[in-house]
Amino acid sequence: MSNTPTESIMSRNPITCSQADPMSMAAKQMWEHDIGALPVVDEGGRVVGIITDRDIAMAAYTQGQPLDRMEVRSAMSRSPVTVRPQSPLTAVEALMQEHQIRRIAVVDDDGRAIGMVSLNDLARRTGPSRGAPVSREELTQTLRAVCQPRGAGPSAHAMA
């Protein structure tokens, strides 16, 4: 298990959006920056939610509205999981596993977004050597937990 701090692998200066932004703007930012999630911040830059590309796609389907008519607040996760830059990568992995999420916002002491860490970031730092910040076994365990089906099993979808 690695005590490597999150700040050593996080992406810095994350692209963010506000709750009142149209989802079309969030989708455009994700497309232009090749990212799958944005921290949603308040006027002070504090993280109040997360919106993912999947959230946007599902909102478009379930709400039946054009993206420019829907606000980010209508689809964002309102309970963002965050870590501090000094948090060890083991804590990031544990949170990803527990919450079955692929990305976590990194915040400063005031809760402002300063970075993002993703499953991709962990994968790119995985290696067989003892010096690698993430072992293959740790990555496999995290990936297995994140990919587990949630809630009702596949039979619920078949019956719908």
Q: Where are the domains of the chain?
A: 6-147
pLDDT value of position 50: 97
Mark 118-144 as b/e (b = at least 16 C-beta within 10 Å): bbebbeebeeeeeeebbbeebbeebbe
The domain 6-147 is placed in CATH, from the list 3.50.50.60, 3.10.580.10, 2.40.50.140, 3.40.190.10, at 3.10.580.10
User: What's residue 158's pLDDT?
Assistant: 40
- Ramachandran angles phi, psi of 75, nearest 5°: -135, -10
Bridge partners, 22 (sequence order): 71
| Structure-block tokens of residue 105 | 């916002």
Residues of the chain scoring pLDDT < 70: 1-2, 127-132, 151-160
Whole-number pLDDT of residue 137? 80
Q: Which residues have CB under 8 Å from 132's CB, separation 6+?
A: 2, 125, 126
